[in-house]
Chain A
Amino acid sequence: MYKGRMKLEKELVAASSVPLVLSILSEAENYGYAIIQRVRALSEGEIEWTDGMLYPVLHWLDDVGYVRSVWRKADTGRKRKYYSLNPEGRQALRQQKQQWAAVNHTLNQLWIPRYA
């Protein structure tokens, strides 16, 4: 799923895909291509998904009721599918934030430089 300067572990990319998508959708309604561009921009190119792999994640989130989707006419004149976060999705995002904060806090404790 990842191509770029630093090769992130496949499992790490897979694990971070849901919180990344939920976080981006918590800002505003969005669509697949724009979500990928946003991840690319925020990570300054460090995280690059194989674009098609986003869609299984989006469809799964739609399936479990965390996001809702609607087809709308884009400025290109073609139809485009937009996704937005449901209340259950906001709850799931809050849970994800707590879990990632716990992992981050633990790793930071271990990785703080020790001075002689």
Chain B
Amino acid sequence: MRNLEKEIADWRRSMATTSGCCQELLDELEEHLREEIAQLLRSGISDDDVWQMAVARLGAPADLRAEFEKLKASRRAWMPVKIARLLVAATGAMSLAAALLFGERSGILLAIHVFCVSLGYSMMFVMGGLSIVYICAHWLGEPALNRRSSFLRATFQFAGISAVLVAVGTILGMFWAKDHLGRYWAWDLKETGAFWILGCALLISVLRWIKPAQTFAMYIAIAGNMITAWGWFGANAPASWKLSNPFLVVFVASQLIFILGGAVKGVADMKGKQAER
């Protein structure tokens, strides 16, 4: 009589090394195997045959690994996401050039600060722009499975990288401020802007792990456009324009229209689903 518990333990070890599955997935597959074995035993099949049949039905570890790899490969990036990544790369190159220019005149600290803040803030705009494209695509027709997946993946990646860059840039800015202005932090417009931009990037990053709330990432990303525009360009505008720069006011209004458009579409979709039920 076959020792099924030993067989299952050996199978699990073999599956772990060949398929590359994580512990949680192995737990799930083991539970599946046990149910299959129980079902086959109930139908009167012998222990020897039950084991062979159950394992054959589950599939070979190498085949399972290949299926997971296929799914990874099928996650092709949506075209706007590809464009967004190119924009980020181009902005990175320009930020580096700007940083080298600052570095020559004002030192390495400011150079790295300029690089981090420029790229981090630019990525916020890219995220917001991508969210606007997604909302427009949604208005034109329901986004395909892969598009939504591609959009969310890119948004969370940009948010994470932007949060790190803005945090590093802000900390370096604090040390520069201590050296040149005699204090680390004074909640001036630039510093307040950096605080809110960092908060926005962190909030979007956190949504990656809150699946039911992931859709809100796009609204926060568009709000991030408004905050970044004010924190970056508003803060650097002439004193008389800081709070009421007309271009900024128009830009903020346009972003609010996109947020409203996305919310209206979302509510209309929900009402449509309820009517169908």
* In contact, B152 and A59 (Cβ under 8 angstroms): no
Is the Cβ of A86 less than 8 Å from the Cβ of B269? no
Point out the residue from B31, B68, B211 that lies within 8 Å of A56, measured CB to CB: B68
Can you report 10 residue pairs joining A to B where beta carbons are below 8 Å apart?
A55-B28, A56-B68, A56-B71, A64-B148, A68-B212, A76-B34, A76-B38, A78-B31, A91-B273, A95-B144
Q: For the complex, is B48 an interface residue (Cβ under 8 Å from A)? A: no
B91 proximity list for chain A (CB < 8 A): none
Complex-state Cα separation, A80 to B31, whole angstroms: 7
Please name all residues of chain A whose beta carbon is closer than 8 Å to the beta carbon of B70 when the two chains form the complex. 56
Chain B residues whose C-beta falls within 8 Å of the C-beta of A50 in the assembled complex? 57-59, 63
**Contact call B270/A65, Cβ cutoff below 8 A:** no
Q: A51-B59, A56-B68, A91-B142 are in contact. Are A64 and B152 (CB under 8 A)?
A: yes
A37 to B29, CA, bound (A): 15
* A59 in contact with B215 given A18-B145, A65-B152, A91-B269 (CB within 8 Å): no
- Taking the closest CB of chain A, its distance from the CB of B34, in whole angstroms, is 7
> Is B25 an interface residue when CB atoms closer than 8 A count as contact?
yes
Bound-complex Cα distance A51 to B37 (A) = 13
Please encode chain B, from 204 to 221, with 1 for each CB lying within 8 Å of some chain A CB and 0 for all others. Answer: 000000011011000000
Residues of B at the A interface (CB closer than 8 Å) are 24-25, 27-29, 31-32, 34-36, 38, 57-59, 63-64, 67-68, 70-71, 142, 144-145, 148-149, 152, 211-212, 214-215, 269-270, 273, 276
B71 — which chain A residues lie within 8 A by C-beta? 56-57, 59-60
B273 touches A94 (CB 8 A): yes
* Residue from B31, B58, B144, B270 with most neighbouring chain A CB atoms (10 Å): B31
CB-defined contacts of B152 to chain A, threshold 8 Å: 64-65
Interface of A is mostly: helix
Instruction: Report the minimal beta-carbon distance from B51 to chain A, rounded to whole angstroms.
Output: 15
Which 6 interchain pairs have the tightest Cβ spacing?
A52-B59, A64-B149, A50-B59, A56-B67, A33-B35, A52-B64
- Give the distance to chain A from B149, nearest Cβ to Cβ, in Å: 4
Q: Is A88 an interface residue (CB 8 A)?
A: yes
Cα distance A51–B276 when bound, in Å? 33
Please measure, in the bound complex, the distance between the C-alpha atom of A21 and the C-alpha atom of B142, giving whole angstroms: 20
How far, in whole Å, are A79 and B35 apart by their CA atoms in the complex? 12
Q: For residue B57, which residues in chain A have a CB less than 8 angstroms away from its CB? A: 50-51
**A65 contacts which chain B residues (CB < 8 A)?**
148, 152, 211-212, 214
Inter-chain CA distance A81–B29, complex, in Å, is 10
Contact present for A51 and B214 (CB under 8 Å): no
A41 is an interface residue with CB less than 8 A from chain B: no
**Residues from chain A with Cβ under 8 Å of B273 in the complex:** 87, 90-91, 94
Complex contacts, B27 vs chain A, CB 8 Å? 79, 81
CB distance from A10 to the nearest CB of B (A): 11
